[in-house]
Structure 1
Amino acid sequence: MIKQVAFLGTAIALVASATAPAAAQFSAAIDVSKQTVAEAKASQQRIDSLDEETSRLLVDYRANLKQYELLSRFNQSRAVEVERQSTQIENLQLDVDNIENIQRAMLPLMEEMLGTLEEFIAADMPFLEQERARRIERLRSVMTDSNTSEAQRYRLIIEAFQIENEYGRTIEAYSGTVAADGGELSVEFLRIGRIALIYKTADDSVLRIYDRDANAFVDLDRKYMSDVKLGLRMAKEQTAPALLGVPVPAPIQAQ
């Protein structure tokens, strides 16, 4: 019995002595496993971080690539526009050169137009003489004014021609004076286009019409007095338009 107990104790001692190294190895294995797990976790974190960085760089790359494509198309369209504008600039320069040539040719043309207008007024019936003379004088002044452009000069001359053209198809009444017996006589003029120019005094004692052949006013038959008065009212828009009876020279064949 004593021997059995001793053997059991010896066996336990042997087991204890055998178990101690195994426990140490197990503990070491556990530590290695923990370290491995920690390192794996750290590696996974690095991988996740690298994956996020890669994804961000890929997004940036795609955005930059898209921006590059947009800028490339924009530059191409700008290049076409620049080329078109260069062509327009060349055409405008040609127009400027042509305008300079036209301006040099316009000055003698306008001088000729103004001279023709002045001659026409001098040969026309003598209505609104002062007004028309002042218009010619202003145009002459404009032609020598360096601050007035060629376009402005041309426009003013054309306006003067248009005004003269309007006289041929309008009826007008205006007051004025005529020379009479060494003095002046206040009269009322009636202009019917360029067909007739008549004046009368306020008391109807004088009634005259311009005679082209005589280049002077001559007495008008008083039977036309009522028509002249009607014409004056029509010109002042005091009555509705109506037919007027006025003497006109017979037409002649043009030479």
Structure 2
Amino acid sequence: MFVSAAALLAAIGAPAYAQFSTALDTSQQTANEGKTSQQRIDQLDDQTAALLNDYRANLKQLEAARRYNESLERNIQGQQRAIDRVKVDIENVAGLQRAVTPLMEDMLARLGDIVEADVPFSIDERRERVTRLTEVMSDPDVTVAQRYRLIVEAYQIENEYGRTIGEYSGSIDDGGEQRAGEFLRVGRLALIFKTGDDSVLKIWDNAQRAWVDLPKSYLPDVRLGLRMAKEQTAPALLPVPVKAPTKAAQ
């Protein structure tokens, strides 16, 4: 004998049906909550993956910056070692004076080449230093020892640029238009320019020997770097956009 659904429900009775309906509602609510929880888990998983990718990208950028800076440091330190060897020779060999003069001229010429090929931070000041040294080399009132000391000091100043952060005001040629603003130098890794109203943000591309646009997402970091350079805030980790390092010329 078969019993219809209506008859079955009638047989179960109203209280039992209410309990059955409540159980169904509870089951549906539990399923919905489980679905919501899974969606939150998936969202957190996506966020975690994105953060991990950013972390890996930052590690690669840091490694590239480190290798590039080490390459430049090796090049300058090699020059410093050569200078130190010459200094010892000057102090111990009185007859070396005639040989030292052409060597100092070569060192001065190399210094000028470094300034012109380098990132053009404080370029007027650095060029003026080379010009003054060139004049000193032909000044009969300046001794060989004094000339050498001035050249060594110039190399030490250039070497120090690679380990410091600095800022200064100036202007750039932006497509034939002169724009005034602030420069941020981060070692020899980056030279960044921004206008006072933040409408223009650029970074020097030494491979192209030109200013290129820098994404505005770097603007907060540039502002922080400027405050650090002015000693208006404590030193902190400063993200800097850099290209992959290239092998330094020997």
Of 211, 231, 243 in structure 2, the residue corresponding to residue 217 of structure 1 is: 211
SS at 2:103 equivalent: helix
The answer to whether the aligner puts 1:170 opposite 2:164 as a matched pair is: yes
State the number of aligned residues: 160
Q: Give secondary structure in 1 for the equivalent of 2:166.
A: strand
Partner of 1:237: 231
> Offset at 1:254?
5.8
Structure 1: runs of 5+ lacking an equivalent: 1-94
| Structure-to-structure mapping, 1:240-251, within 5 angstroms | 240-251=234-245
After superposition, the CA RMSD in angstroms is 2.0
Paired AA for residue 203 in structure 1: D
Deviation, 1:245, is 1.2
Task: State the shift of 1:97 in Å.
Answer: 11
Secondary structure of the 1:140 match is: helix
Larger radius of gyration: 1
TM-score (normalizing by structure 2): 0.61
Q: What is the CA-CA distance between 1:180 and the residue it aligns to?
A: 3.1
Matches within 5 A, 1:151-190: 151-190=145-184
Normalization by structure 1: what TM-score?
Answer: 0.60
Q: Which runs of 4+ in 1 moved over 2 A?
A: 95-98, 180-183, 251-255
Secondary structure of the corresponding residue to residue 210 of structure 1: strand
Q: Equivalent residue for 1:227? A: 221
Instruction: Give the distance between the partners of 1:180 and 1:96, measured in 2 at CA.
Output: 50
Match of 2:106 in 1: 112
Q: Provide structure 2 residue ranges, at least 5 long, that are not aligned to the other structure.
A: 1-89
Aligned counterparts, 1:20-169, within 5 A: 98-99=93-94, 101-169=95-163
Q: Percent identity?
A: 57
What is the alpha-carbon distance in structure 1 between the residues aligned to residue 92 and residue 141 of structure 2?
21
Larger RCO, structures 1/2 (Cα 8 Å, 6+ apart):
2
Please tell me the residue identity of whatever aligns with 2:242: V
Q: Which residue of 1 aligns with 2:199?
A: 205
Give the AA of the match of 2:162: G
Q: 1:254 to 1:115 in 2, by over 3 A?
A: closer
